[in-house]
Structure 1
Amino acid sequence: MQMHHDQLRGFHVATSEMPYMDSVSVGIYIPVGSRYEELAVNGVAHFLEHMIFKGTSDRSALDLAIAIEGAGGTINAYTTEDQTCLETRGPVELLPEFLEVMADMLWHSTFSIEEIEREREVIAEEIVMYQENPGDHLHDLLSAALWPDHPLGRPITGTEASIQSIHRETLEEFAEEHYSVEGLTLAVAGNVKHEDVLKLADKFLPAASTPQKTFEHFDPDRRSAEVQDLPLLHDQREIEQVHLAIAYHTNGRHSSDRHILRMLSFLLGETMSSRLFQELREKRGLCYSISSDYSLYEDTGTFEIHVGLDAQRLDECIDALHMVLADLKNNGFTAAELRQSKRYADGQAKIGLESTHSRMSWMGDSLMSFGKIIDPEEARATLASVTLDEIRALTSKTFMRENISIASIGPHTEANMRQALEKLF
């Protein structure tokens, strides 16, 4: 697997050479997301991501779409808590056009007032859509429960009130402050040569000349001092299901625990053979969906369990969850479970890097998170080295009452939810 990395005027430029492909995936990663925002303009990073599609000094919004789609490619963008990404995919011969258009969008957008007002309404509808969808709204509730009064606890889209405070000057200032910082990353994967990518980067990309901006770090000691009652955010709705998310605070992405956390998630809830799926869905029929996952940031992280269940079976489900988690703390997983999960993890890691888009994402996320490309084979080897003792130790220090935050949506009152959830402990 050929992955190359160089520095160019403050940019990371990374290429995965895949000579057997006819396509190319291109991503430009900017190290800024919702956690860099001030409360008054919550949602500005996401708003700005929308506005880069709305016209430049040389192209209208339609011109931008036609320049990519009309040539046979696709274009997309997304915003997370700590990064913004603009990505394109298409035939490999379109690489020069992709880079020229992407650079135009990111560094020459005009922020038309008319387009801003139109997009404000679009984003307001997006916010309402997320709020009305229990799965999406549950994510925002859980973030607010995990990180109250902190940028990580705010919705990436902002709120209907906060986006009203975002104007042309706000967008221009945010772009000027964050879209030219050192650490920006260009990641390209496909039937290309690294030296050719470097030449195109030199032609189309500006200089990333200012130091990367800082953000408000999360202080776990502050949380410990504040937590008294069970941190629960509940949205009572007249629906037949309960949507439940249970989260535990973890260390951030630079912790040596991250590989153990990954294996714990495989074992607990990421597969049909995992403990939670087998115990709650297959053996007891308590829920249709149940899973585990984790998210890691620079300074903190979270391990999560998500359940969608019949509201009338809430108590049974909480009892079963308690049984599974208590058994893990007392007895751990078996050697057979660990061997099976390691085989699954290794297989999925290999499958996950077969496409140009997945290679591009691997390089982009590696460079944004660690400043280097993590070797996939080394990552698989590290995951394969995780032991039962390491998993048990991590489980014991993670699954504690004082470490938990919960979000739920369903027909029960908050008092009834709290009473049911107390049985977890």
Structure 2
Amino acid sequence: MDTTIEVDRSIPGIRVVTEHLPWCHSAAVGIWVGAGSADERPGEHGAAHFLEHVLFKRTSSASGRELSERIDLLGGDLNAYTGREHTCYHVHVPAPGLAEAVGVLTDVVANGRCHPDDVDVERDVVLDELAGREDDPEDVACELATSAVLGEDPLARPVIGTEESVRSLDADTLLEFHRRILRAGDVVVAAAGRVDHEALVRLIAEGPLPAVVGPNTEPGASARSSGLWGRSPALVGMDEDSEQVQIVLARRTPARDDADRAAAQIATAILGGGLSSRLFQRIREELGLAYTVYSSIDQYRLTGVLSVVAGCPVERAEQLCDQVGEVVAGMRSSAPGTDEVDRAVGHLTGSILLGLDDPLSRMTRIGRHLLDRDTIVPVATSMNRLLAVTAEDVTRYWESEVAPWSLAAVGPGMPDLGAAGLLDRLGG
């Protein structure tokens, strides 16, 4: 069945986009703010994520409990997440409760109080979350690798902050950060499901958001980047008493609108994106060295990061490093064939199509597109962009990459000679 996407720009600083899904029994709405951890100033590290926690505690007219009760009564789910370049507050409810849910969501984003008592309570929650991540070697290794690759750029900072920065944040700092990012006027309200476009625009125009959002003079340009990326190979790690070793190999890749972004996505899928990928077949299926092994790519406004992630028992660490190096080096010595490209394209386009059955996924897609690009790229265009990539394009892209590799290793005795050998093998 056909869907209709509509965009409204009549509210200063707020763009409203909807995708009507006539067969759907629910609606997902997200308020996207074009600011994340990369927009934090000195003294604000971790503020974007901390703020996401605190705003749900109370507004000028309702307690956090009252807000939760209203959403539970509707049978919905209210949540948020923070990225490096954006923050999203979202709700998913059965369609009859949409207007009430939008009222709760806009109240949270526009009128969240940042009360000192709430800040103190949520500080402990965020510190617990931070401690949980520090107990996860994969999270630690991924953060270390990302920081090594991105260097002094604001994108390199952990989204959640550090224990020191979280302890130093206070209510005034969070409130000023909140006001500043809303005044910047880079806000998108996106909705998908059984939703009426004109009715949603009216709800937003007559609600509390317009009073706190400033006029946007440069959509999609909020995220800050200094370009101070890592320029040389880096071997980082943490000697941690555990039964496992976690390694993350990473380097910079094209930005999200770069001409080579599709080739980069397909190369990443060939390397370790699916069950038939080179890493999974060699490391997991043939050698049984690791339960977890994959590659992924994050693409930001001005750069991207390719990561190769693997974990194994301590006694297999040296062999794992050797084999990961062999597979990654093989992307040059044994160029991907047409069959590999076809499977990678199938994996990526299939993921797009599977997401179309979920209104929350559709909301995320149109919200991110409008926030990042100030336009909605049709699904067919996204798929055709991938389908147009050839094996030669993938080979040319991979051989043209000159950004140095960095490696993070977490576990007993890490980083050791095996990790150093892996980095040397790839020439940094």
Fold-level similarity (TM above 0.5): yes
- State the match for 2:8 in structure 1: 6
Cα deviation code 1:239-285 (max 9, x no counterpart): 22211111111121120111111111221111111111111111121
Deviates more, 1:71-80 or 1:148-157: 148-157
Give the drift of 1:193.
2.4
Q: TM-score, normalised by structure 2?
A: 0.93
Per-residue deviation, residues 51-91 of structure 1 (Å, max 9, x unmatched)? 11010111011011111122211100111101111010111
Aligned pairs (5 A) from 1:111-260? 111-204=114-207, 205-206=209-210, 208-211=213-216, 214-219=222-227, 223-224=230-231, 227=232, 230-260=233-263
How far residue 314 of structure 1 moved from its aligned partner, in angstroms, is 2.2
- For structure 1, which segment, 24-33 or 150-159, has the greater mean C-alpha deviation from structure 2 after superposition? 150-159
In structure 1, distance between residues paired with 2:376 and 2:222: 22
Residue 409 of structure 2 aligns to a residue whose secondary structure is: strand
**Counterpart-to-counterpart distance in 1, 2:187 and 2:345:** 34
Q: Distance in 1 between matches of 2:416 and 2:138?
A: 22
The separation in 1 between residues aligned to 2:395 and 2:15, in whole angstroms, is 38
Asked if the contact 2:150/2:252 (under 8 Å) is kept, the reply is no
Count of matched residue positions in the alignment of Structure 1 and Structure 2: 418
Q: What is the match of residue 405 of structure 1?
A: 406
Instruction: Answer yes or no: is 1:37 the counterpart of 2:40.
Output: yes
Q: Could you list the per-position Cα deviations for residues 21-66 of structure 1 after superposition, in whole angstroms to 9, with x for gaps in the alignment? A: 1111110000110001123221011111111101011101101111
Which ranges of structure 2 fall in alignment gaps of 5 or more residues?
Answer: none
In structure 2, what is the Cα distance between the partners aligned to 1:18 and 1:94? 16
Q: Is the 8 A contact 2:26 2:193 kept in 1?
A: yes
* 2:324 equivalent to 1:316: no
User: Residue 86 of structure 1: which of 66, 81, 89 is its match?
Assistant: 89
In structure 1, distance between residues paired with 2:152 and 2:227: 12
2:110 & 2:348 partners in 1: Cα distance? 39
Shift in Å at residue 190 of structure 1?
0.8
Q: Give the Å deviation of 1:329.
A: 0.7
Report the TM-score, using the length of structure 1 for normalisation: 0.94
Q: CA deviation at 1:216?
A: 4.0
Tell me the SS of whatever aligns to 1:192: coil
SS at match of 1:248: strand
Would you say the 8 A contact 1:315–1:420 is kept in 2?
no
How big is the alpha-carbon RMSD for the aligned residues of Structure 1 and Structure 2?
A: 1.8
* Contact kept in structure 1, 2:34 and 2:223, CA below 8 Å: no
Alignment partners' CA distance in 1, 2:126 and 2:389: 43
Q: Is the 8 A contact 1:319 1:424 kept in 2?
A: no
Equivalent residue of 1:287, what SS? coil
Distance 2:344 2:44 in 1: 43
> Is this contact kept in 1: 2:250–2:307, CA < 8 A?
yes
Tell me, in whole angstroms, the C-alpha distance in 1 between the residues paired with 2:315 and 2:426. 17
Alignment partner, residue 111 of structure 2: 108
Q: Percent identity among equivalent residues? A: 29
